[in-house]
Structure formats: C-alpha cells, structure tokens
Amino acid sequence: GAVVSQHPSRVICKSGTSVKIECRSLDFQATTMFWYRQFPKQSLMLMATSNEGSKATYEQGVEKDKFLINHASLTLSTLTVTSAHPEDSSFYICSATTVAGSNQPQHFGDGTRLSIL
C-alpha cells in the first residue's frame, strides 16, 4: 500500500519550455504532498509543501512564480517548472503523507529527471 506515482520519469527539453510533473497517490488520500529537488550526490532539498485546496508553502529561496504547484485533489499534485533553464536541471521528487504529524512516514515517488538543454 501507500504507492505514489510520479510522471514523467524523465524529461529532456529546450531552454524556455515549461514542464509539468504529476504526483499521484494511487491507493490513499494524501492530505499533504511535498516537492523536493535533489542535485547529483546531494540530499533532498524541500521546495514546497502543498495541501489539497490551498496554496503551497514554499521554502526560503524557492521562487513560487518559477515553480508552480497545484494540489487540486487529495490524490494529485502537480509541479510546473516555468520557462525552464539549464540551471533548473535536476531530479525532482514528490512525496505524500496520509496523516499530518511528525512521526508519519512520507511515501515517495520515483522522481523525475529533468534535463534542460
């Protein structure tokens, strides 16, 4: 149980393109979804936290107009990288949790490898 599906798994596109990444909880309702960014050989850096039906909370230094997050339902959150540039190339990972609280596990998707040419 607690499967999170992320799509697409890999994107290669030209600079200036906007890219949408989907994160779905397949067998549970996710009260909260998280978006992370991971550079090679580095840890996960939280970008934003999204709750269904409300605006996402962005971490310091993350541009909300650059990284648009929509959490339209309890099973779907999307991250759109607008006007992507080579420096946006990274591994983007989403996670979801069923119940709020510090001891609750996050269930991760398999990530999206974004490469901007």
- Contacts of 112 by beta carbon, 8 Å cutoff, 6+ apart: 6, 7, 8, 9, 10, 11, 21, 91, 92, 93
Distance (Å, whole) CA 29 – CA 25: 7
Which of these ranges, 11-19, 66-74, 81-89, 97-105, lies near other proteins under the rule CB under 8 A? Answer: 97-105
Distance (Å, whole) CA 16 – CA 36: 21
108 binds other proteins (CB under 8 A): yes
Distance (Å, whole) CA 28 – CA 31: 9
102 binds other proteins (CB under 8 A): yes
Which one of 77, 78, 90, 95 is in contact with other proteins (CB under 8 A)?
Answer: 95
CB of 2 to other proteins, least distance (A): 9
37 binds other proteins (CB under 8 A): no
Q: What's the gap between Cα 38 and its chain centre?
A: 11
14 binds other proteins (CB under 8 A): no
Residues that bind other proteins (CB under 8 A): 4, 6, 32, 34, 41-44, 46, 49, 93, 95, 97, 100-111, 113
